[in-house]
Amino acid sequence: MTRVNTALKLARINRNLKQIDLARELGVSENLVSAWETSRSIPLPNMRYRIAKVLGSTPEELFKNIYQL
């Protein structure tokens, strides 16, 4: 089972985005993207939708481990 942070990082890399690129697309800091990818923080529900959209996925697929809790 892929952890949320790993799934997020892999999806970002597969889209050829750096953390700063994703942060700019979402209007957040690069530090926040880093926190998501290192499991120091979990994106809020409204942000999960935006992240998934930018990364060409769905919130349910990208964050399936959160939804299974």
* Contact between 22 and 34 (Cβ < 8 Å): no
Total number of domains in the chain? 1
Residue 8 one-letter amino acid: L
Q: Name which of 6, 1, 7 is nearest 57 in CA terms.
A: 7
pLDDT tens-digit series, residues 47-57: 999 999 999 99
Task: State pTM to two decimals.
Answer: 0.86
Higher pLDDT, 9 or 1: 9
For residue 47, what is the domain's CATH number?
Answer: 1.10.260.40
Pull the structure tokens for residue 30.
């690069």
Distance, in Å, from the CA atom of 52 to the CA atom of 36, rounded to the nearest integer, reads 13
pLDDT at 34: 96
Q: Name which of 68, 62, 69, 66 is nearest 11 in CA terms.
A: 62
* pLDDT over 70 at 2, yes or no: no
Domain that holds residue 42: 4-67
pLDDT tens-digit series, residues 20-39: 999 999 999 999 999 999 98
